[in-house]
Amino acid sequence: MNVYVTLSNLKSDESWKKKIPLIDGFGTEGIGSMIQYHLLLFYLSDFTGIPFTYPGSKNFAHHSYTEYSEDNYFEKIDTFFNFPKVDTEWDEVYDYEGQIDDNFFKLIESYKSDKKILINLHNCHRAIDAFCGSKKESIFTKDRVDRIRNNLVFNDEGYFQEGRNICWHMRTPNPNDIPAEIVSPYREYYVKERDFLRYKTLVDTIKNNSKDVHTTLHIHSQGFSTDFSEFLNLKENNFDIQLHIDDHPISDIYHMSHANIFIMSNSAFSYVPCLLSSNKKITRDNYHTWTFNSIKTNYNFTEFKEI
């Protein structure tokens, strides 16, 4: 097809015919808040057959706590997600602002010609999310999710153990955070004094359901406010716990998306491996957007409802 789409919060101009601007996190937006929508666009593209192009990344917030230079960090992100990148000069570039609906698909058809056409989905992030959410049973099939996850490029060494591997992303207060009341009132942070006992309830449930197989619980987080050593006291002979604190975010996403079970936090960073995993996810019942193949749990991790 000679009509491609891309997703940007910028309006296009004549310069886009030669080069599409990089996706800019403005120093405040992390991998999750930026990548989730381009990952959803990948699913939409695979489902509809409309190709897309991702120009590359810059200025995402998570760079501040990795050992990589800025250039190496973003090269690693772009290599890992391996989104299609079309290096070409476009004959025409158009902006589209609206829903992903019949009118959008008719517009795509109308642009088909011998020319190379780029449609900039300007500020269509929520529209893409809404379309994928409304058709999640059709879009998020095991075959499609596995194919898109297998498109990832991860060159580092994995650390999963024999048996069942469960990954849990625990969000901690981050000095780079935008205040929660601006981003989402539902964002939750792990604070040892407040949360350990209710988190232990979930660990005990996992243990009770894992007696037949050796299980490793991998805890992923940043060490801003806790060292998480309290969880190591919950180990048993057939139940190991490993801490992955301040690992490279790409390593976290890779392992969380491949886990037998993934436990999300209320975080866009968690949402990325949720979208990449065809296995079970455990999510909070107040998470602000849809998930698929998930089990919803309440605040105290005492009630579970499969969706």
Burial of 208-246, coded b for 16+ CB within 10 Å and e otherwise, reads: eebeeeebbbbbbbbeeebebeebeeeeeeebbbbbbbe
Distances (CA, A) of 186 to 30, 139, 268, 284: 17, 27, 12, 10
- Please state the rounded mean pLDDT for residues 249-265: 97
pLDDT at 181 over 50: no
Alpha carbon 111 to its chain's center: 31
**Cβ contacts of residue 279 below 8 Å, gap of 6+?**
259, 260, 261, 262, 293
Residue 70: both structure tokens together: 């800025």
3-state SS track over 16-52: HHCCCCCEECCCCCCHHHHHHHHHHHHHHHHHHCCCE
CA distances to 153, 193, 278, 302 from 144, rounded to whole Å, are 17, 41, 9, 32
* Helix ranges, 25-141 (H): 31-48, 70-81, 102-110, 125-134, 136-139
Rounded CA gap, 301 and 307, in Å? 16
Per-residue pLDDT reduced to its tens digit, 288-304: 899 999 999 999 999 99
Domains of the chain: 3-150 (no CATH), 164-306 (3.40.50.11350)
pTM, entire model:
0.93
Q: What are phi and psi of 163, to 5 degrees?
A: 95, -150
C-alpha distance from residue 156 to each of 76, 238, 242, 277 (Å): 11, 27, 18, 19
Residues for the chain: how many in total? Answer: 307
| Percentage above 70 pLDDT, the chain | 92
Average pLDDT on 238-261 reads 95
Strand-strand pairing, 294-297 and 304-306 = antiparallel
Compare 112 and 263 and report the one with higher pLDDT. Answer: 263
Q: What's residue 227's pLDDT?
A: 85
pLDDT, tens digit (0-9, with 9 covering 90-100), for 13-41: 999 999 999 999 987 788 999 999 999 99
**What's the pLDDT at 182?**
46
Q: Which secondary-structure segment (H or E) carries 262?
A: strand 261-263
Q: Two tokens at 66?
A: 């990795």
Burial of 149 (0-12, 13-18, 19+ CB in 10 A): middle
**pLDDT surpasses 60 at 223:** yes
Question: Would you call 187 helix, strand, or coil by DSSP?
Answer: coil
Per-residue pLDDT averaged across 53-57, rounded? 97
**What's the chain's average pLDDT?**
92
pLDDT bin (cut points 50, 70, 90) of residue 66 is low
